[in-house]
A and B are shown apart, each in its own frame.
Chain A
Amino acid sequence: MGRTSKVKLLSKAKPGLTGLIRSPIKWLIVNVVAWVIGVLWILPFVGLFMTSVRPFGEVAVYGWWSIHPFTFTLKNYYNALFNPMFSLAKGFINSLIIAVPSTIIPVILAALAAYAFARFSFPIKNYLFIMMLFLMAVPQQMTIIPIFFMLNNMHLLNTYLGLILVHSSWGIPWITFFLRNYFSLLPKELEEIARVDGASNREIFFRIVLPVSLPGIISAAVLQFAWVWNDFFFALMLIYDPNKMVITQMLPRLKGQYQVDWGLLSAGSILAMSVPILVYVLLNKYYITGFRGWAMKR
């Protein structure tokens, strides 16, 4: 490697742990390996995508990687979206109908509760908080049977409202935990001066705290939305009408009894994951900080 290129590589290397990789050759190797890993890592996605835009007949014979013959088609997507039994177009809308309220409701209710835990003193506060912590770890399987019968009694089984209530309730513990940590890091001054200015708790919360905590709130909302959209188990247990099924539910049903049409399935999968990936790309900052914040501390 020539002199000038060695110098260039060294200067481009970032500080921090770079000191660990001292020779520019090693640095180059590391970069190449990293990118190779990155590309290989998404190969399954690539394969899935390729399968979705080609007729499965072709893929089954020549493989999704073949360049020749190559027929580009959107038929798989069409079949998935307008499938007679499990129309993913409807599934898409159903997922939205469920996910949006199931994000708004718990975020607001949990924010209120989180604020109380962060700022107020009240009886049995610590017990309630510990209870919330434990609830976060409980698996969905632990609640679903009584919920099933409860909703049935309330005539909310197989309804949007029923599923929304279940998702909202399920989200409250972790969002409360998440936002409580967030609120407790806000400097108290704004709230105190608002108190002197005459504002009540309600006014302080909605007019001062919420606007100032918007980043944290959005992070929580983004994560909750993704979680609800991606959910399968609650929907599986509580929704039966194919017209009301969410998109994740429909996917396994697109599998045939004897033969799997991967063209159909891959298109359906891409459709199902389009929304969470879009959210991840557009709201990346909130997604990642939310993720870290939740999985870390206290």
Chain B
Amino acid sequence: MPEAAGIKVERLSRVFPPNVIALRSVNLEIKPGEFFVILGPSGSGKTTLLRIIAGLEVPTEGRVVIGGKVVVDAEEGIYVEPKDRDIGMVFQNWALYPHMTAYDNIAFPLRIKKLPKEEIDRRVRSVAEALGISELLDRKPTHMSGGQQQRVAVARALVKQPKVLLLDEPFSNLDARIRVSAREFVKELQRKLGITTILVTHDQADAFAVGDRVAVLRNGVIQQVGTPDELYDEPVNVFVANFIGDPPMNIVKVVSNHEVIKSLGLTDLVKGNEYVYVGIRPDEAVASSNSVDTHLSGEVVLIEHAGSRRYARVRTDVGLTLKVLADEGLVEGGRAYVRIKKMHLFSEGGSRITTLKL
């Protein structure tokens, strides 16, 4: 594999007339060999961002640099075609050429480059081998499962040994069952090849499974960039806090002079806000029937099962309703005592004020 390339996105903006702002001054720096995830809900502009990096769209402002080379610059009027950007791409629905076999699909970029036949054959077979699809080479896309098609699409993207790999929601079209193994597969592959990879998704589980670093995008604006752990533990605002993590963080709006605030001695911190948001992850609080060393008490409204864990929805006496981990022995309708391990405080505007470990 050639030397991996870093990617710089500078002041990137994209406006769709008449006044739809898809991207607003996005700045990113993606390190060589990194597995970078762009995460955001639909309409956040993440696909537009990826397509601009790929060269399928152009920005209204700003520029993109791949491997030190400027590939697009709105102000200078520079535009380098996708084929000269040394990139490979996989679309959400694979976009395999339906009239060609898997072999021909994968060989296509090489045939365009007019490489000798033996070289093409060698590379196609080695890539197919690496992706475990060697037996599928003679099949046409209609005779393949979703997972198989995806691998062929990845093979096609990688066969020309690009510096950058772009993936647009690659797991959305897969069954939930194979999604997990697909993520692992892609992560493994990326680690082995060391190729700079950008993955766009709306599923935060994807981001966690594969990302070295994640950028959270909302309405065209980058909210936060960091490792998955950083996003989980130190979300920069309510949106990120709520978007990351499953089950989602409990976010409750309380008035600034609420009991909870006062009892935790946070009155100074919340000064200047009429009300604040309290954020507690369900996995960072436990409800049990033991009242020792707990912060809140209340009534168990609902018990939910999630695989190996149980969650309890507790209506506390101070008025907050929280979903927290449920100890054994807790029953619906019963009394519960909640011990909070970690709590975030967000200002009126949504940005994080502080995080408390209790």
Contact, chains A and B (beta carbon distance below 8 A):
yes
Of A190-198, A249-257, A290-298, the stretch lying at the interface with chain B is: A190-198
Please tell me which one of the listed residues B55, B99, B109 contacts residue A197 in the complex, with CB atoms under 8 A apart. Answer: B109
CB <8 Å contact, B156 and A212:
no
Of B87, B91, B99, B109, which one neighbours A212 at CB under 8 angstroms? B99
> Inside 8 A of A190's CB, which chain B residues have their CB?
95, 97
**How many angstroms from the CA of A236 to the CA of B171 in the assembled complex?**
63
State A264–B66 Cα separation when bound (angstroms). Answer: 77
- A165 in contact (CB, < 8 A): no
Residue numbers in A under 8 Å from B108 (CB-CB):
194, 197, 199, 207
Q: Could you tell me which residues of chain B, from 82 to 100, have a CB within 8 Å of some CB in chain A?
A: 82-83, 87-89, 91, 93, 95, 97-99
Within the assembled complex, what's the spacing in Å between the Cα atoms of A211 and B160?
Answer: 24
Q: Are B83 and A197 in contact (CB under 8 A)?
A: yes
Across the interface, B98 reaches (CB within 8 A) one of A192, A196, A212, namely A212
> When the two chains form their complex, are residues A208 and B97 in contact, meaning their CB atoms are under 8 A apart?
yes
Residues of the B chain whose Cβ atoms lie less than 8 Å from the Cβ of A194: 97, 108
In the complex, which residues of chain A have a beta carbon less than 8 angstroms from the beta carbon of B56?
A: 192, 195-196
Q: Are A193 and B91 in contact (CB under 8 A)?
A: yes
B112 to chain A, nearest CB (A): 5
B112/A189 in contact, CB under 8 A: no
Contact A196 B113 (CB under 8 A): no
* Interface range, B side: 20 to 34
Known: A194-B108, A196-B54. A189 touches B156 (CB 8 A): no
Residues of B within 8 A of A198 (CB): 82-83, 109, 112-113, 160
Which chain A residue has the least Cβ–Cβ distance from B92? Answer: A189
Does B138 make an interface contact (CB < 8 A)?
no
Q: How far is the CB of B80 from chain A (nearest CB, A)?
A: 12
Q: Contact: B89 with A193, CB < 8 Å?
A: yes
Q: Are A199 and B83 in contact (CB under 8 A)?
A: yes
- Residue B81, interface by CB 8 Å: yes
Complex: chain B residue closest to A193, CB-CB: B95
Q: Mark A166-192, 1 if CB is under 8 A from B, else 0.
A: 000000000000000000000001101
A195 cross-chain contacts in B, Cβ below 8 A: 55-56, 81-83
- The answer for the CA separation of A9 and B129 in the assembled complex, in Å, is 61
Are B83 and A203 within 8 A (Cβ)?
no
| Shortest CB distance B59–A (Å) | 17
| Contact residues in B for A208 (Cβ distance below 8 Å) | 97
CA distance A192 to B92 in the complex (A): 13
Closest to A203 in B: B112
Interface centre among A190, A195, A198, A208 (most CB of B within 10 A): A198
Q: Is the CB of B93 within 8 A of A196?
A: no
Question: A192 CA to B88 CA in the complex, in Å?
Answer: 12
Contact, CB under 8 Å: B88 / A196: yes
Complex CA gap A189/B94 in Å reads 9
B82, A189: Cβ atoms closer than 8 Å: no
A120 CB to closest chain B CB (Å) equals 14
CB interface residues, B 116-160, toward A, < 8 Å: 156-157, 160
Nearest CB of A to B127, in Å: 14
Chain A residues with Cβ below 8 Å from B99 are: 211-212
- B112 contacts A192, CB within 8 Å? no
Are B112 and A197 in contact, CB atoms less than 8 angstroms apart?
A: yes
Interface members, chain A 199-240 (any B CB < 8 Å): 199-200, 203, 207-208, 211-212
From B57, which residue of chain A is reached at the shortest CB distance?
A: A192
A196 with B112: CB separation less than 8 A: no
Give the interface centre of B55, B89, B95, B157 by most chain A CB atoms within 10 Å. Answer: B95
Chain B residues near A193: list those with CB within 8 A: 89, 91, 95, 156
Flag if A196 contacts B89 (CB, 8 Å): yes
Chain A residues within an 8 Å CB radius of B83? 195-200
- Set of chain B residues within 8 Å of A212, measured between Cβ atoms: 97-99
Report the separation of the CA atoms of residues A221 and B246 in the bound assembly, to the nearest whole angstrom.
57
Q: How far is the CA of A207 from the CA of B113 in the complex (A)?
A: 14
Closest-CB distance, A188 to chain B (whole angstroms)? 9
The 9 A-B residue pairs with the shortest CB-CB distance, nearest first, are A198-B83, A189-B95, A197-B109, A193-B95, A198-B112, A196-B82, A196-B89, A211-B99, A195-B82
Q: Can you show 28 pairs from A to B with CB atoms below 8 A apart?
A: A189-B91, A189-B93, A189-B95, A190-B95, A193-B91, A193-B156, A194-B97, A195-B56, A195-B81, A195-B82, A195-B83, A196-B55, A196-B82, A196-B89, A197-B108, A197-B109, A197-B156, A197-B160, A198-B109, A198-B112, A198-B113, A199-B83, A199-B112, A203-B112, A207-B108, A211-B99, A212-B97, A212-B98
Given contacts A196-B89, A197-B108, A212-B97, 11 further A-B contacts (CB under 8 A): A190-B95, A192-B95, A193-B89, A193-B156, A194-B97, A195-B81, A196-B54, A196-B157, A197-B109, A197-B160, A198-B160
Residue numbers of B with Cβ under 8 A of A are 54-56, 81-83, 87-89, 91, 93, 95, 97-99, 108-109, 112-113, 156-157, 160
